[in-house]
Amino acid sequence: MSFLDLEIGLSEEDLAIRDMAHKFAAEVLRPAGQALDRMQDPAEVIAPSSILWDVFKKYHALEFSTLITDDSVDPVKKARLMCLINEELAWGDVGLAITLGLCQFHVPWVRHTQDRDLIARFCNPDAPTIGCWALTEPDHGSDTLMLSEPHFSDPSVKPNCSAHKDGNSYVIRGQKAAWVSNGSIADIAVLFCTVDKSMGLKGGGIFVVPLDLPGVSRPRPLDKLGQRSLNQGEIFFDDVRVPEHYMVLGPNLYTIGLEMMLCHANAGMGQIFVGLARAAYDYALAYAKQRVQGGVPIFEHQNVRSRLFKMFTKVEAARALARRVALYNAGGAPKVQHCIASKVLCTNTAFEVASEAVQIFGGNGMSREYPIEKIFRDARASLIEDGCNEVLSIIGGSKL
């Protein structure tokens, strides 16, 4: 394994879990991710015969697959382990790391409802379900995240998805954008939608919505440039009726809930994209040691070595921040600016290191016969997902 020998404070158990995650990433995720990436039609990725389901099965057989929702584990230990696991899984395939990471996104929200039937159905580790979070709308991407800006509480900004109270139920009507990760396959959504239109986007509520309810429809999954192993797709709600307690947070606490979600998602993305950056670096280093030009491996040329060293330095720096933020968050309320800093730094690092790796591969970096062009495409999406980096920087800046 590459340059992880600087680890401090890891127990034998931590190292064993990290190695298990690495083995799964190398033997299952990387080949599956490459196969899914090559599928022309995104519907093939989620077809019953797809290798994706084999990935899920093997993942759920691993002892760490329920760690994230296991409240009996010490939060600091859990944070440390999740950093190791997220990095390894994304080293294998970032699209699948996100797919698997989101699987249990709904669990804490469902537990919050205190609905025994819902909890039995969606929080049972022996019968795992697939979750997603649905916030982005066709007309509202960055808008939905920029809590600090005046448009957020402007009632003239009309949502694409809203819920209204009807007796003891809420009735949900509208659409979430094609960007919902796991949107095409999820069993349940954590839905962010407008409840009080007089408050603009600020008047939101956070719901749990089983996606087999009458009125939910999901057309074809999205076709896209990178992270093709991560299925995404829009979700339509045609007067979908849910009991009122399925709304876990209402407008009075919506901005706090949204900010916490943004913090946890951004901190997680930081850890994940360290893994992608390391994969790109690993490939570039290995290639530089075997590609001969001028009679020697290109690694022997000083300029190539110094470029590799820059990549190495960037990955180490990104990892240091991602872990520092994760460990801080384990101790209590996260700090928005630090979580965003981690996402922005780590995804920029992933993109820069992947781009430099393509350069080290020369012409072969462009070829689909080599793995690096896929990693480059996968890295590109990270500058947009979970908030465009420039928009996140405005949000982070508002906290300084």
Site for ligand FAD (CB under 6 A): which residue of 181, 194, 229, 349?
Answer: 181
Does position 381 bind ligand FAD by CB under 6 A?
yes
Residue 91 binds ligand FAD (CB under 6 A): no
SS3 at position 304:
helix
Q: Is residue 387 a contact residue for ligand FAD (CB under 6 A)? A: yes
Min separation Cβ 151 and ligand FAD, Å: 8
Q: Which is nearer to ligand FAD, 189 or 247 (CB)?
A: 189
Binders of ligand FAD among residues 223 to 282 (CB under 6 A) are: 227
Asked if residue 385 binds ligand FAD (CB under 6 A), the reply is: yes
The minimum distance between CB 312 and ligand FAD, in angstroms, equals: 27
Q: Residue 192 CB, nearest distance to ligand FAD (Å)?
A: 7
Q: Minimum distance between the CB of residue 134 and ligand FAD, rounded to whole angstroms?
A: 5
Burial bucket for residue 14 (CB in 10 Å: 0-12, 13-18, 19+): middle
* Structural contact between residues 99 and 230, judged by C-beta atoms closer than 8 angstroms: yes
Q: 158-180 burial by CB neighbour count: b if 16+ within 10 A, else e?
A: ebbbbbeeeeeebbbbbbbbbbb
Report the residue from 34, 66, 142, 393 that binds ligand FAD according to the rule CB under 6 A. Answer: 142
157 binds ligand FAD (CB under 6 A): no
- How far apart (Å, rounded) are the C-alpha atoms in residues 146 and 396? 10
Which of residues 190 and 360 has its CB atom nearest to ligand FAD in the complex? 190
d(Cα 400, Cα 333) in Å, to the nearest integer?
A: 17
The residue from 136, 271, 347, 349 that contacts ligand FAD (CB under 6 A) is 136
Give the nearest residue (CB) to ligand FAD. Answer: 141
Shortest spacing between CB 232 and ligand FAD, in angstroms: 6
Site size with ligand FAD, rule: CB under 6 A: 22
CA 400, CA 393: separation in Å to the nearest integer? Answer: 11
Pairing of strands 216-217, 235-243: antiparallel
Question: DSSP label at 131?
Answer: E
CB 189 within 8 A of CB 133: yes
d(CA 78, CA 271): 13
Task: Note whether 386 binds ligand FAD by CB under 6 A.
Answer: yes
Q: For residue 104, what are its two tokens?
A: 């249990």
Q: Does 146 bind ligand FAD (CB under 6 A)?
A: yes
Tokens representing 303 are 């300029």
Rule CB under 6 A: which of 94-133 touch ligand FAD? 132-133
- 3 state DSSP class of 23: helix
What is the binding site for ligand FAD (CB under 6 A)?
132-136, 141-142, 145-146, 179-181, 227, 381, 384-388, 390-391, 394
